[in-house]
Each structure stands twice: as C-alpha cells, then as structure tokens.
Amino acid sequence: MGSVTEVNGFNLEKLVSQFQIVAEFEEGHVWTKGHINDTYIITCRQGGTPIRYILQRINHHVFPYPELVMQNVKLTTEHLRKKIGTEDRHDLTRRTMTLVPTRGGAPYYRDREGNYWRTYVFIERVTSMHVAVLPAQAGQVGRAFGMFQKRLADLPPEKVQETIPDFHNGLLRLEALEKAVAADSAGRVAGAQAAIDFCRQQRGIVSLLLDAQARGELPLRITHNDTKIDNVLFDTDSGEVVCIVDLDTVMPGLVHYDFGDMVRTLTSPTDEDELDLTKVTMRLEYFEELAKGYFAEASEFLTQADRDYFAISGKVITLILGIRFLTDHLNGDTYFRVHRDGQNLDRARVQFKLVESMLEQEEAMKSFIAALG
C-alpha cells in the first residue's frame, strides 16, 4: 500500500514530524472511534519494524482550554506511570497511555490554523467493547477504575485544572435543556416531547450528589469523568484489562460520577443508541460484580459518607447524560457526533429507560453495597 499523507485536508506526515518520533513516516488513516476528537492511526517504520502512534486533533470547541487539558494529561500520565512502575515495570507502555512530546518538549502542537494536536504511542494487542457480555467483565472494569482512582488519590486536586467547568452539574444541564426547548432551533421539540416530559418529572434526581457535596459530605478527588467501557482496553490474549484511556476529562470531581457512569455502561446489555427499548435494562448481576471489583481497590480511601451515595450514583449520571443527549438533539447535534438522523434522541431514550430500571432496583443495589462493608 502506498504512503498516505493527506487526510481530511491535513498533512499527517508534516504533523507527525513535529513530535519526538525518530521512525520514518509510512502512512496514516482515520480512526472512527470516539464522539469528540479527530483521531488518526499513524504507522512509522524504524529499522524495518512498524511502529504505530495515535495522532489526535483536540476538539477545541468541546474543550475550550486545550492547553489545560494537555497539562492535566501530562501530569496524570506521568503520575500513573510512576505509580505503576513502582508496582511492576513489566509492559509499562501498554498499562498506561504514553504521551509523545513535541520536538520542543511540549505536550501538544498548535498548527497555523489554531488546531491543537497530540500524539500517543499506540497500544498494541488490545481490544475494546461497547457492551459488557459477561458479569466478570464488569468486575474487571470496576477494579480497573477503582485502581485508577487509588493511584491518583495522593495527587492533590488543586494541581489538576477543571477543563470543563460544571461538567456534571445536572442543574445547569437542565437549564440548558429548557433553553433548547424554548428556542427549538432545529424544530425538533414536538418529536421529543415524551423525553422532555421525563426529564421534567425526574428533575429532582440530578442534584442529589451536588447537594451532598454542598453539605460537605463528599470530597473532591481526581476522577476520570468518562468511565464507559469503551475507555478500557482489554488484552486480546488474556482478556484482562490492560489500560484506561481517554483522559481528556480527568479533573477534580466526585468518585460517584465515575462509579455511576460505570453502572450506566456496564450493566446495560445494549448499545448506547439501541432502538428497541424493550432490551434496555439495568442488569443487577453485572452491578454486583462491578461493585465488588470497584470496592476491592477503592475501599481504602473511601469514607462511610462516600459509600452512602454509590447506589444512587447510576441514576444521577445516567439522567444527566440523557439530558445532554436530548439537549444536543434539540440544538441540531452540535456536540456529540452522530452518524444518522435522530441518533442523539435515541441515545437519550436509552438513558431514560435505564433510569427507570435503576429506580425499580434501587433498594437491591443499596442492600448489596451495604453488605460489602
């Protein structure tokens, strides 16, 4: 195959040359995973050996402070690498993301058009998934994110910047939804009225964690803030979790949002945009394995007050994300990338069906977490 250097108007070879990569550029192509950033897989060759990298253009509309995002990524990856290295240096480049600096030593490159670019070493021999198909996978992911939080527990929250202010502020998300409804800029309100009504009926859910934080019950810690199963890489041979990726939203937050997002993505048997809502449910067996895995690693830094709110965290973050999907649908799909008409509305409907299922099983979830001690 011939060398491919020009993709989507970007000269990938010239962009790669801005980073500390000594291997010779061979080709690059678009990688379609992810809702937000533009991602390219770059293949270089060194001494006849192919070496792959991930080149990404940061979406500076979603992340208005890309410099701060990259400061956080650099700080977090270095901290994780140090922690993992003290445990076991084996396969270190596969167990945490490796940021490749620019030739000047910066964590990102800004081109003449104002685009921000960064490069990672591609993690080989791994796979990812959209849906957990075994309860044990939920347990593995829970353990991985519990370990992630534990490794960052001694990183002072004030050292990490808040790159998207009020990211999980459900009250502000509700306000944005009501503005979108009032504006109806894309003419979609009529077709989404049932979803809008659901948000209004359940609006009290979104502030449960905010209120607890305001009362001083829940401390800020360094959190991932996007703990869906897609952001965990599994070893293709062993099936074990290798690495957690997508660190753009790492910032100070509540561990409950991370746990809740795992409940949202690990316990559902369907894709995020499933059309058949009869398939959408919160699988209690998967929740139990997730909780066991997470608490096995996270228990040492959690307080009793923390524990009191984990069972409700799933419905909080799931409703908030559903509101975000719905708002974006009403605004004309300006935030989350869509591949078909109505996809964001379908995503919202799935979230709301999950919330209903979580409400039905909430007492069982509370009892299980209480029994973990």
Q: Which domains does the chain have, with CATH numbers?
A: 6-122 (3.30.200.20), 135-372 (3.90.1200.10)
Tell me which residue has tokens 């809008």: 196
**What is the Cα–Cα distance from 170 to 212, expressed in whole angstroms?**
13
Q: What is the pLDDT along the chain (373 residues), one digit of tens a residue?
A: 345 677 778 999 999 999 999 999 999 999 876 667 899 999 999 988 999 999 999 998 889 999 999 999 999 999 999 999 998 778 888 999 999 999 999 999 999 999 999 999 999 999 998 889 999 999 999 999 999 999 999 999 889 999 888 999 999 999 999 999 999 999 999 999 999 999 999 999 999 999 999 999 999 999 999 998 899 999 999 989 999 999 999 999 999 999 999 999 999 999 999 999 999 999 999 999 999 999 999 999 999 999 999 999 999 999 999 999 999 999 999 988 899 999 999 999 999 999 999 999 999 999 999 999 7
Q: What is the DSSP letter of 45?
A: E
With both helix axes pointing from N to C terminus, report the angle between 343-360 and 193-201 in degrees, rounded to the nearest 10.
Answer: 40
Nearest to 317 by CA among 280, 266, 271: 266
pLDDT for 35 equals 63
User: What pTM was estimated for this model as a whole?
Assistant: 0.92
Contacts of 94 (CB under 8 A, 6+ apart): 123, 124, 125, 126, 242, 243
E strand or H helix that includes residue 43: strand 38-46
pLDDT for 364 equals 98
Contacts of 363 (CB under 8 A, 6+ apart): none
pLDDT for 332 equals 98
**What is the Cα–Cα distance from 96 to 93, expressed in whole angstroms?**
6
**What is the Cα–Cα distance from 178 to 194, expressed in whole angstroms?**
14
Tokens standing for 165?
């202010």
Distances (CA, A) of 294 to 66, 263, 310, 327: 30, 11, 11, 31
**CB-CB contact of 3 with 24 (8 Å):** no
Indicate the residue type of 135: P
Tokens standing for 331?
């605004």
**What is the Cα–Cα distance from 3 to 17, expressed in whole angstroms?**
15
pLDDT for 2 equals 42
